[in-house]
Structure 1
Amino acid sequence: MRALTIRQPWADAIAHGTKRTENRSWPAPAKHIGTRILIHAAAAEDRKPRPSRDVPRDLTGGFGIWPDTRSAIIAVATLVGCHFDTGCCTPWGMDGYFHWELTDVTALPEPLPAKGALGFWTPHEDIVNAALRQDTAVAW
């Protein structure tokens, strides 16, 4: 199972909010489409969080709404698709980026500390197993 590191507040917006589009400058690898992935909250926050299109300010995170966990696996999701921006995916899709489509997001009750990496990366087997145990314990 692969993990994707996402800076805050966007990782929390996926795990605890309604964000189901991850914006990337590169397309999702085809081999990962249709697979469960781990959502890792980066150690650093997005220094210039810019809401995409018309995201209400209270949904952009980092304002006391979500836990703001750092350097940890915080959710499991299914990556179901990827497409280039066509003015779609409101309110979370950003102009000029690839939109990675996420579904079946499960926030982990207990975040799992882990050092992340750029792009997709493979966490230690113990982390994956702990995340999967939590994922199956939480009703979708």
Structure 2
Amino acid sequence: MSTATLPEGDWIRGISIRQPYTACILTGAKTIENRPARWRTGWVLLHTSKTIDRPALHLPLIAVVGVARITDCHQDIEGAPLCSEWAHPGAWHLVLQDVQELPLPVPARGQVVPWKPKPDLLERVFHQLPGLRP
């Protein structure tokens, strides 16, 4: 797949997530990601961040490891049960669906805020997912 076959415009962002949580998302065990601010829905590259849960992971891999679609972004009502065992009270919860793991990680530099991936990164990611059509 080349970047010429990808949609034009501002349709995808990157999201950097600490390990081991990225791996939990890829396995389908974790379907909620907590953020301090509201996010828009749509496709995101799943990126393992430099910040890790050190007791849980010894050697971090800084790379894009998958793709997912944010289908909702909400906060739970104060005092109500949390929407997921992964949800943090007071945080914005990004609901992740259509998660697809890449066969091979693609090294990349991410950011804490939503970041726009460069065309060469998208080409390397979507080359591994030829059937994905956003």
Class of the TM-score when normalised by the shorter of the 2 chains: 0.7 to 0.9
Question: SS at 2:74's partner residue?
Answer: strand
Q: Segments of 4+ in structure 1 off by > 4 A? A: none
Whether the aligned pair in 2 keeps the contact of 1:85 and 1:94 (CA below 8 Å) is: no
1:20 partnered with 2:34: no
Alpha-carbon spacing, 1:27–1:126, altered in 2? closer, same or farther (3 Å): same
Question: Equivalences for 1:58-77 in 2 at 5 Å?
Answer: 62=56, 70-77=61-68
Question: SS at 1:15's partner residue?
Answer: helix
Whether the aligned pair in 2 keeps the contact of 1:44 and 1:70 (CA below 8 Å) is: no
Higher Cα radius of gyration: 2
Paired residues, what number?
Answer: 118
- Structure 1 residue 117, shift from structure 2 partner: 0.9
TM-score, normalised on structure 2?
0.77
Question: SS at 2:130's partner residue?
Answer: helix
Q: 1:134 aligns with which of 117, 128, 134?
A: 128
- Structure 1 residue 94, shift from structure 2 partner: 1.5
1:122 partnered with 2:116: yes
- Structure 2: tracts of 5 or more residues without a match: 1-11
- Structure 1: tracts of 5 or more residues without a match: 49-61
TM-score, normalised on structure 1?
0.74
Question: SS at 1:74's partner residue?
Answer: strand
Match of 1:4 in 2: 15
- Structure 1 residue 95, shift from structure 2 partner: 1.5
How much is the aligned-residue C-alpha RMSD, in angstroms?
2.2
Whether the aligned pair in 2 keeps the contact of 1:8 and 1:41 (CA below 8 Å) is: yes
Relative to total residues, which structure has the larger strand share, 1 or 2? 1
